[in-house]
Structure 1
Amino acid sequence: MPLVSPGRPGTVPPARPGAALLLALDDDVAVAVGDVAAGASVAVGDTVVTATSDVPRGHKLAVRALPGGTQVRKYGQVIGRTTADVAAGTHVHTHNLGMDGVTHDYEFGTARMSLPPATVARTFEGFRRADGRVGTRSYVGIVTSVNCSASTARMIADQFRGPVMDVWPHVDGVVALTHDSGCGLVPESEGGQVLRRTLRGYATHPNVQGLLVLGLGCEMLTVQGLLADLPASPDTLVEHLTIQESGGIRATVRAGVEVVRAMLDDLETRRRVPVPASELVLGLNCGGSDGYSGITANPALGRASDLLVAQGGTSVLAETPEVFGAEHLLTRRAVSEDVGRRLLDRIEWWQDYVQRGGGTLDNNPSPGNKAGGLTTILEKSLGAVAKGGTAELTAVYEYAEPVVDRGFTFMDTPGYDPVSVTGIVAGGATVVVFTTGRGSVLGSKPAPCIKVATSTEMFERMREDMDLDAGRVVTGGATLDQVGNEILDLVLDVASGRATVSEELDLGRDEFVPWQLGAVT
């Protein structure tokens, strides 16, 4: 039967009543495509298995007897080890499957796949910036140096919400980028540098055409420190204010409103122009994953990533704790051993980091992930890396580092969705595609966020919060290739100005969450 492997080409057969999907020939478990009752006959490829217990949709059932202590395979890879004897047809989950201490013999560049160039050049309507980059939105960003200026920044931005923006129809809005730090930490520390890098990444983002940097005046991370040698595009309008020097909050709000209004008048004269798809930087992220994530939405997004890379564009995979256990698949695709080892260095950092915090990387999956059918981080990671398609891995970046390499890249971020997406956008992603199985309602600014549902059932239930249904891969309504093409089409439409459902709801202000590291004194 047709197979799916993470990061490899494949197809998913349409679901049949009472069917379960075997994702690789030697797998020990199959994924139920609908709720299965105890005693029901389940078609698994060319064989039939009798369910010995109820199996929820998206969960796993054993296709053969698995004695206690047996390594269990899904996607052709080990996802854990049985903690009890498991009969064929049994529901396999947290009650009888545990984490396995899998070790890998890492290879570098042994599975590199150079994608053939696209035969048809795709384009979108974007904002060509003076530094050569291309934006997909036109925002005025109010970047705060410290939490003490957060409320003031919001007061300024709130003056430009709703119908008032009708005066400037070619500007997408004003966004206050506020956070909970900026003082009480040493600017030269790891945490201080991560925050500074994140804020400067947003300040120089191609979707930010007007920039107001707002501070209090006595913080450790100063306005001047953020603006020093800022590599913003020459056509970015840049102003700064400090509350203490401006006469307090009310005076600063009045001054800030005047500054922003002048910026909006200027930005209103700027227009989109046709640009090649190669100018896109696509962020790849997932959250609220379920048992369908690695079968439908994630590999479909991987197809879209490959299509964009073939156009000469860039994609960015992230969430280091959620590639743990599947990192060996990425090192095999690395363009050099140095790139592959850079990924392994980040995995090692994370293992030490969570150990110092009294946890392990298998603290993930979350309760919601487990309710959706994911049992161990190994299983979750194997489905998560499918978002990266098959292209060779050209670079590995630390959190919020500027993404300058073309092709398929990786950024070290936490798995927590808002923090991860914040890092990717700080690195320069101009569109984000976010896959979800449970129904995450994330938005982002200034980069638009497209949400792809892993199942038709969830898509229908949360239709007003989802942009695209990838569940049709299982129900037979579309193939992975078709959905991958639909995702790329949607990315280009959104890059050209089409609003996502998150943008229609004005989401993205509260989802700016820089990664906080280090001691606060």
Structure 2
Amino acid sequence: MPGTGALLADHALLLHPEDHVAVALRDLPPGLKLTHGTLTVEVTAAIPQGHKLCVRAMPADTPVHKYGQTIGRTTTAVRAGEHVHSHNLAMDTERPAYEFGTGRIVVPKASVTRTFEGFERAGGAVGTRNYVGIVTSVNCSASTARMIADQFRGPIMDAWPHVDGVVALTHDSGCGMVPASEGGQILRRTLRGYAAHPNVGAVLAIGLGCEMLAVDALLHDLPAPADTLLSQLTIQDQGGVRATVRAGVTAVRELIEQLDQRRRTTVPASRLILGLNCGGSDGYSGITANPALGHASDLLVAQGATTVLAETPEVFGAEHLLTRRAVSSAVGHKLLERIEWWQKYVAAGGGTLDNNPSPGNKAGGLTTILEKSLGAVAKGGTAELTAVYEYAERITDAGFTFMDTPGYDPVSVTGLVAGGATVVCFTTGRGSVLGSKPVPTLKVATNTTMYERMRDDMDLDAGPIATGDATVAEIGDRIFEEVLAVASGRMTVSEDLDLGRDEFIPWQLGAVT
């Protein structure tokens, strides 16, 4: 109650002894007095759950610390007990000094080899699902692809229990672009990545027939497993949409009959590629779900598996922590090159990287991109950074890696899947409802309030970390076990809701003529 004394730790989290701010565990009313050692703080105005409470007075233009790192600078003098947010905290444009490899931690190899039940593919890749993918070369064939896929939704699939479904991978590009351009190459790489994905046992490629990105070019020298079943159709050659739908349904049925003969087998966890992503972040993201996922990432790396962090705009401000973990200066510099590209890219559009956080992020307590990024990189655990990939580039290195993607969730996850991620783990504070066919997405809530409100859309609750009812390691262990179970076939909530068809969104760059 206002006017009474209470322990700071019961109402807010001070994440580092030298931090200027603590994170509210619940709505803090004005007049509430909180003590921490010799420190006494009286809340001066209502502070929402997940937002920042000033615990040390700061003059204007003071670097504000959270996680022991700078998250911005004060724009006015701030008294202890005040709410610290957009009205008195702004971006700090001073960049940190970069070091390379000085913070490398080699995660010890696990003493016990864990396994999952996956679909072994020719060449050594292992899928966690068994899908027919209808890949479209151009938007002109999107509706046709959907009409075909819609014939294989619902109870009809019960006839083939070992096939997870038919997904139409449609998009709004493929023509009016220069195929050799950066945007053209990204689209081609993304479509080919899905066609060659270990979760896609069979591919039906559909084009119109006159597009710049033709079906033949899309499938030429496709780096797919040798046991991937391939078929293709063009609408103009078939005689129109109705004829193509009829031919496509026949082709897909034949592909399904063959795919249904495949079975899961026991394989080591080292064969997993886990995509690490977040969306709708809040003030708890960097405290609960993200570090717990980081713990799970380290456990997978210890098994010899691969984990892939993404969302380049959302590591800006924390990239110096990643360069310290790079296995070589070349890996560290590749990350910085992508950061520099992004700064130029957003500047050309009249913005800055601090345009992220979103309004929802800010409502959840995040103020600057520096603060958001420091919480986001926690998803990558502590392991050394072994590789940096461009968008949708094929993932080949084991260990903890990074892929350059936008922060927009479906575009980012599309890049990770195109690169080869076979499971995606997605943390959210505000409540994202993402799915990502043909790859299962495991969603982890950062706070229990949202988890209870959106229980049908969340797989796990990391909120007990904030209340002290669970540790980061305990929730991280649960995430690790859930990843193995989902990889073995357990459905995620997004799969149960049949999400993931509309979230296939390749990153678009360049001119359309």
TM-score for the superposition, normalised by structure 2: 0.98
Residue 41 of structure 2 aligns to a residue whose secondary structure is strand
Q: Check conservation: 2:276, 2:379, Cα contact below 8 A.
A: yes
| Residue in structure 1 matching 2:423, options 413, 431, 435 | 431
Name the structure 2 match of 1:134: 126
Q: Check conservation: 1:300, 1:484, Cα contact below 8 A.
A: yes
TM superposition shift of 1:45: 6.6
Residue 402 of structure 1 aligns to a residue whose secondary structure is coil
Matched letter for residue 227 of structure 1: L
| Residue in structure 1 matching 2:216, options 220, 224, 227 | 224
Residue 287 of structure 2 aligns to a residue whose secondary structure is coil
Name the structure 1 match of 2:314: 322
Name the structure 2 match of 1:63: 55
Q: Check conservation: 1:115, 1:391, Cα contact below 8 A.
A: yes
Q: Check conservation: 1:18, 1:43, Cα contact below 8 A.
A: no
Counterpart CA distance in 2 for 1:105 and 1:40 is: 40
Q: Does 1:515 align with 2:507?
A: yes
Q: Check conservation: 2:208, 2:236, Cα contact below 8 A.
A: yes
TM superposition shift of 1:89: 0.7
Counterpart CA distance in 2 for 1:45 and 1:312 is: 44
Counterpart CA distance in 2 for 1:138 and 1:244 is: 30
Matched letter for residue 157 of structure 1: A
Q: Check conservation: 1:21, 1:45, Cα contact below 8 A.
A: no
Residue 457 of structure 1 aligns to a residue whose secondary structure is helix
Counterpart CA distance in 2 for 1:56 and 1:43 is: 19
1:446-457 to structure 2, matched below 5 A, reads 446-457=438-449
Q: Does 1:174 align with 2:166?
A: yes
Name the structure 2 match of 1:88: 80
Counterpart CA distance in 2 for 1:51 and 1:287 is: 30
Name the structure 2 match of 1:77: 69
Residue-by-residue CA offset, 1:183-218 (whole Å, 9 max, x unaligned) = 000000000000000000000000000100100000
Name the structure 2 match of 1:374: 366
Residue 126 of structure 1 aligns to a residue whose secondary structure is strand
Name the structure 1 match of 2:3: none
| Residue in structure 1 matching 2:288, options 285, 288, 296 | 296
| Residue in structure 2 matching 1:349, options 335, 341, 346 | 341
Name the structure 1 match of 2:16: 24
Q: Does 1:100 align with 2:95?
A: no
| Residue in structure 2 matching 1:405, options 384, 397, 404 | 397
Name the structure 2 match of 1:479: 471
Counterpart CA distance in 1 for 2:348 and 2:113 is: 49
1:24-423 to structure 2, matched below 5 A, reads 24-44=16-36, 47-423=39-415
Q: Check conservation: 2:8, 2:36, Cα contact below 8 A.
A: no
Matched letter for residue 346 of structure 1: R
Matched letter for residue 394 of structure 2: P
Once structures 1 and 2 are overlaid, which stretch shifts more, 63-72 or 377-386?
A: 63-72
Residue 432 of structure 2 aligns to a residue whose secondary structure is coil
Unmatched 5+ stretches in structure 1: 1-14
Counterpart CA distance in 2 for 1:71 and 1:398 is: 33
Q: Check conservation: 1:280, 1:430, Cα contact below 8 A.
A: yes
Residue-by-residue CA offset, 1:375-414 (whole Å, 9 max, x unaligned) = 0000000000000000000000000000000000000000
Counterpart CA distance in 2 for 1:504 and 1:338 is: 42
Residue-by-residue CA offset, 1:280-313 (whole Å, 9 max, x unaligned) = 0000000000000000000000000000000000
TM-score for the superposition, normalised by structure 1: 0.96
TM superposition shift of 1:46: 6.9
Matched letter for residue 399 of structure 2: G
Name the structure 2 match of 1:4: none
Matched letter for residue 496 of structure 2: E
Unmatched 5+ stretches in structure 2: 1-6
Counterpart CA distance in 1 for 2:239 and 2:110 is: 57
Q: Check conservation: 2:21, 2:52, Cα contact below 8 A.
A: yes
Residue-by-residue CA offset, 1:7-36 (whole Å, 9 max, x unaligned) = xxxxxxxx9885211111111101011110
TM superposition shift of 1:119: 1.3
Counterpart CA distance in 2 for 1:224 and 1:400 is: 20
Counterpart CA distance in 2 for 1:460 and 1:106 is: 41
Counterpart CA distance in 2 for 1:98 and 1:459 is: 30
Residue 65 of structure 2 aligns to a residue whose secondary structure is strand
Name the structure 2 match of 1:503: 495
Name the structure 1 match of 2:482: 490
Residue-by-residue CA offset, 1:358-390 (whole Å, 9 max, x unaligned) = 000000000000000000000000000000000
